[in-house]
Structure 1
Amino acid sequence: MGRGPTLELPPELAGDDDTSVQAVPLGGGFYFASFPIMGTWFELTVAARDAGSATELAQTARDELMRLDRLMSEWRADSPVSAVNRAAGAAPVRVEREVFDLVAKAVEAAERSGGAFDPTWAGMRGVWRFGDAMDGQVPSDEEIESSRALVDYRKVRLDPEADSIFLESPGMALGLGGIAKGYAIDRLASLLRRAGAKDFVVKLGGDLYAAGRHGDRPWVAGIQDPRNPSRVLASLEVEDRSFSTSGDYERFFVKDGVRYHHIIDPATGRPATASRSVTALCTDATTSEVVTKPVFILGPDRGLPYAAALGCEVVVVDASGALHVSPGLDGCCGPEAGGPGSR
C-alpha cells in the first residue's frame, strides 16, 4: 500500500455530481473503488461481502465528499469559505458550524506551530506556480513580500457565538485544502465504521487512513526516497492510524541548480529548506495534516518534539538526506533503508 502520485484536477473536474462509482474485486474478500473529488483522487479499499455492498460504501463516501467539498472548497464560488474570502477586510461572514469548527482547529494549529501551519496561506496563491500552472519562474522579492503580508493567522477573527469568520485585511484568503482533506478522511472512516466496515483504507490524494487489517496481517505503507522514486526507504505497519507524507518531490521545478517546490514557509514566502520529506503516523488524518508540513518547515530538531506533542510519530528526511525517526518508530528504517547520513 504505497503512496501513489497525486493528480491535481482543475476545479471544474474536482467532483462531478454525475460520476458513477463501481467497486471491483481485488481478491480475498476486498474491493476497490476510486473517483475524482476535491482536486485529487479518492480511493477506497474495503473488505465487504460482495461488490454490491462495497459499491454502496463507495457511494456513501462519494456523497459525503461532495457535501464537504461544497462546504470547504475555496475553489467553489458558492462555498462558505469563498464567501469569507470575498468579504476579507469588509465584514464577518456567518458559516455552518462544521466549517467554523474546522477553521478554529486550523487557527489553533497555526498558533501551536508558531505559524508554520497557516490557513491564510491562500493569500499567496498564484505567486508561486506549481502543478498544472507551473511556469518555472521564480517570483521577484517584491511579489513575494507584498503577498506574504496577506498571510497571517492572527488576523483571523472567530466569533463562536455568531459562528462568524472575519479576515481583517482585504486580499486575505483562507485555504483549507489539506486540513479539509484530512477532516474528510476522518469523516469517511467514521461513516464506514457505522455502516459495518471494519477492514478498509480510505485515501485522498497523499493522505490515508487504514482501519483494521488486510486479511491476517496489518496494512503496510511505504515511504518513498525523495530523490529516487523507485526506492522505498521504509515500510510501516499501519493499523487504525493515518499515514501522510509531504515532500519536495511532489510539485517542483529546478532553476539555476536550485529546487523550488510547493511547500512554502509562511515566514519567508519561499519554499522551505529544512527537509526533503516528512511522513507522519497519527491517530487521525486531521492531525496528520497539521503535522507533516509544519515538521517539514521546522526541520527535525524542532519538528519531532512538535509531532510528539500531538501524539504523532514521524520519519523525516532532512535537507542533507539524513533520516530522523521518532522514538516509537526506532528500527523501522535501518542504514540499508537510507539511515542517518544517507543521501
Structure 2
Amino acid sequence: MRLNNILIYFLVFFFVGCSDSKIQQEEDYIFGTIIGIKIYGETKIKAEKVSTEIFNEFHRLHKLLHPWEESLITKINHAISKNKSIVINNEEVILILQDIKKLETQTQTYFNPAIGKLIKLWGFHSNDFNQKIIPEKKEIKRLVLSNPSMNSITINNKILKSSNENVQIDLGGYAKGYALDQAKKILTKNNIKNALVNIGGNILAFGKNGERYWKVGIQHPRKPNIIATIDLLPGWAIGTSGDYQRYITVNNIRYSHLLDPKTGYPANNSQSATILVPPSENSGVRSDVFSKPLFISKTKDKMNIAKILNIKNFLIISNNNSIYISKSMSNKIMWEEDIDKKNITIFKTN
C-alpha cells in the first residue's frame, strides 16, 4: 500500500485553511485510506464523541462490505462461485445490492461492482499492490466475455441467487460514498451544524466553517501539491477517481486499480476525474460512483456520460495533461498554480 501517497493526498485535499481554533479535528484509518473529520463550533468532548460514532460506523461498514477479507460480501461471493443460493438477513445489504444494480445500468456499466474476479486477477485484492506481472490476456478475455453483471443477481424473499458464477461483488467504488451518507445522518442526529468529512478524497460539507464555506483542495495527480481549491457549499460533496493512489507498476508502466469493465484492463486515458455533487440524500454515493465513468470512459465519450448522469461540475485531467472542465466547475474553482490555458477545454453543461 502506498501509505505515503495516500497521506500526501489526504493532506493536500483536506487541510486547506485548518488553523481555526474553533475546529476540532479527528483522524482514523479505514477503507484502506485516511479518514478525517473536522467539526466547527463544538466542544472538544462532543466533537470527539460524534467523531468516534462516525468512525465506529465506518469500521462496521468496512467489515460488512469488505471484498476479500471475511465479510457478508465474501460469503455472498463464495455462494455465487459455487452456484448456490444464500439467505441474506441483512436488510441494509439487500438495499445496497438493489442500489448498485440500478447504478450499474445508469452508468452504462462503467460502474460495474460485479467484476471482483477481474480486480483480483490484477492483484488489487490485497493491502500491498506488489504484483509484478500482467494477467494473461486469455484469462482477462474469458472473464470479460462471461459478462459479469449485477443484473444476473436476483433476490427474492431474502434469497440471493446469481445465474453467473463469474460474478464477484466488489463495492470499492461505492462504499466510501455510502459511508459519507451515513456520516451525514450521524451528524444530523447529534445536532452538529458544521462539519467536513473526508474519506480518502470523497468529501462532504456539512454546514460551514464559521462564516466561511469549507475550502478543499484538488490534488495534482502527478505532483504532491494542490492544483486548485474550491469552496464546498453546505450539503455538497466532491469526489475524485484517479490512477495515483492504488496501482501496480510493471515494466515501468502504471496500471490503475480502476478497470474498464468493457475491456478488463485498467483505464488509461485519464489521470484523474473530479466531480462536484449538489445536496441530496445520496450525494456521497453519487460523488463516489459517478466519478468512475468520467475517469474510465474514452475522451470522446466523457461529455455524453456527464450529460447522461447529470454531472454539471467536473474536472478531468487526461493522460497527456489536457484539462477538461465544465463551465459551471470553472466558475467555482481557483487554480493554485500556473495552468497553460491552451491545455484547457471548457464544456458548457445545461
TM-score (norm 2): 0.82
Distance 2:244 2:63 in 1: 30
- State the partner residue of 1:329: 329
- Match for residue 171 of structure 2 among 176, 200, 205: 176
Distance 1:333 1:324 in 2: 15
For residue 125 of structure 1, give the secondary structure of its aligned residue in structure 2.
Answer: helix
Residue 200 (str. 1) matches residue 202 (str. 2): no
Given that 1:65 and 1:184 are in contact with CA atoms closer than 8 Å, whether structure 2 keeps it comes out as yes
Residue 144 (str. 1) matches residue 140 (str. 2): yes
**Structure 2 regions of 5+ residues with no counterpart?**
8-17, 345-350
For residue 61 of structure 2, give the secondary structure of its aligned residue in structure 1.
Answer: helix
- State the partner residue of 1:10: none
- State the partner residue of 1:61: 54
Distance 1:296 1:340 in 2: 21
- Match for residue 165 of structure 1 among 160, 173, 183: 160
Given that 1:261 and 1:271 are in contact with CA atoms closer than 8 Å, whether structure 2 keeps it comes out as yes
Report how far residue 151 of structure 1 moved.
Answer: 5.4
1:136-170 Cα deviation digits (max 9, x unpaired): 322221232234345521553233x5134323233
Residue 49 (str. 1) matches residue 49 (str. 2): no
- State the partner residue of 1:13: none
- Match for residue 117 of structure 2 among 100, 120, 123: 123
For residue 132 of structure 1, give the secondary structure of its aligned residue in structure 2.
Answer: coil
Residue 222 (str. 1) matches residue 214 (str. 2): no
- State the partner residue of 1:94: 87
Distance 2:46 2:99 in 1: 34
Given that 1:120 and 1:153 are in contact with CA atoms closer than 8 Å, whether structure 2 keeps it comes out as yes
- State the partner residue of 1:295: 294
Distance 1:177 1:70 in 2: 13
In the superposition, relative to structure 1, how do residues 163 and 340 fare at CA in structure 2: closer, same or farther (>3 Å)? farther
Given that 1:31 and 1:54 are in contact with CA atoms closer than 8 Å, whether structure 2 keeps it comes out as yes
Aligned length: 320
Q: Which amino acid aligns with 2:339?
A: A
1:5-32 Cα deviation digits (max 9, x unpaired): 437xxxxxxxxxxxxxxxxx96431101
Report how far residue 111 of structure 1 moved.
Answer: 1.1
- Match for residue 273 of structure 1 among 268, 286, 300: 268
Report how far residue 33 of structure 1 moved.
Answer: 0.9
In the superposition, relative to structure 1, how do residues 218 and 62 fare at CA in structure 2: closer, same or farther (>3 Å)? same
Residue 33 (str. 1) matches residue 35 (str. 2): no
Distance 2:113 2:277 in 1: 20
For residue 166 of structure 1, give the secondary structure of its aligned residue in structure 2.
Answer: strand
- Match for residue 107 of structure 1 among 101, 110, 115: 101
1:281-317 Cα deviation digits (max 9, x unpaired): 1131101122111111114442334334434321111
* 1:69-84 equivalence runs, <5 A: 69-77=62-70, 79-84=71-76
Distance 1:337 1:215 in 2: 31
TM-score (norm 1): 0.84
Instruction: State percent identity of aligned pairs.
Output: 24
Q: Which amino acid aligns with 2:111?
A: F
Report how far residue 40 of structure 1 moved.
Answer: 2.6
Q: Which amino acid aligns with 2:29?
A: P
Q: Which amino acid aligns with 2:343?
A: G
- State the partner residue of 2:14: none
Given that 1:120 and 1:152 are in contact with CA atoms closer than 8 Å, whether structure 2 keeps it comes out as yes
What is the RMSD computed on CA atoms of the aligned residues?
2.6
Report how far residue 43 of structure 1 moved.
Answer: 1.4
Q: Which amino acid aligns with 2:98?
A: A
Report how far residue 271 of structure 1 moved.
Answer: 1.2
